[in-house]
Amino acid sequence: MSDEMDMEEGGVVKQFMFVNRKAPYGTIYALEGLEVVLISAAFEQDVSMAFIDDGVYELKKGQDTKELGQKNFSPTYRALEGYDIEKLYVERESMEARGLTEDDLLVDVVVMDRAELAAKMAEQDVLISF
């Protein structure tokens, strides 16, 4: 392991961005992504999440999975703050294409236009896509 990655040496903090592009429930990506983000909190890195394309649907208010027989994991997005994961970025164009507004989302986010989000992505050290 390189010195740069050695946490025990008080290591360098890197910028990690988790990019969420899938709707919840239809595939396992959204839930798996969320679990990896929660695990990442243990490594004390600079973590952010980006929600683009169908990923914006993960944050839709009012999810109710009673009849589906799957766990409703949407409340977990509101618990991220407790793990010091507070940078949630949502692409405005993806929301608008789906008829969603910031009021439709179940957690406080930073809405960015495509250019702003692109710039934010470009400055990351590590991007992990779900």
Instruction: Label each residue of the chain as H, E or C.
Output: CCHHHCHHHCCCCCEEEEEECCCCCCCCHHHHHHHHHHHHHHHCCEEEEEECHHHHHHHECCCCCCCCCCCCCCHHHHHHHHHCCCEEEEEHHHHHHCCCCHHHECCCCEEECHHHHHHHHHCCCEEEEC
Nearer to another protein, 30 or 112 (CB): 30
Site string for another protein, 62-81 (x = CB under 8 A): xxxxxxx-x-x-x-------
Which of the stretches 19-27, 34-42, 111-119, 122-130 binds another protein when contact is defined by CB under 8 A? 19-27
- Is residue 53 close enough to count as binding another protein by CB under 8 A? yes
Nearer to another protein, 16 or 91 (CB): 91
Minimum Å distance from CB 108 to another protein?
17
Nearer to another protein, 7 or 75 (CB): 75
Binding site for another protein (CB under 8 A): 22-27, 53-54, 57, 60-68, 70, 72, 74, 97-100
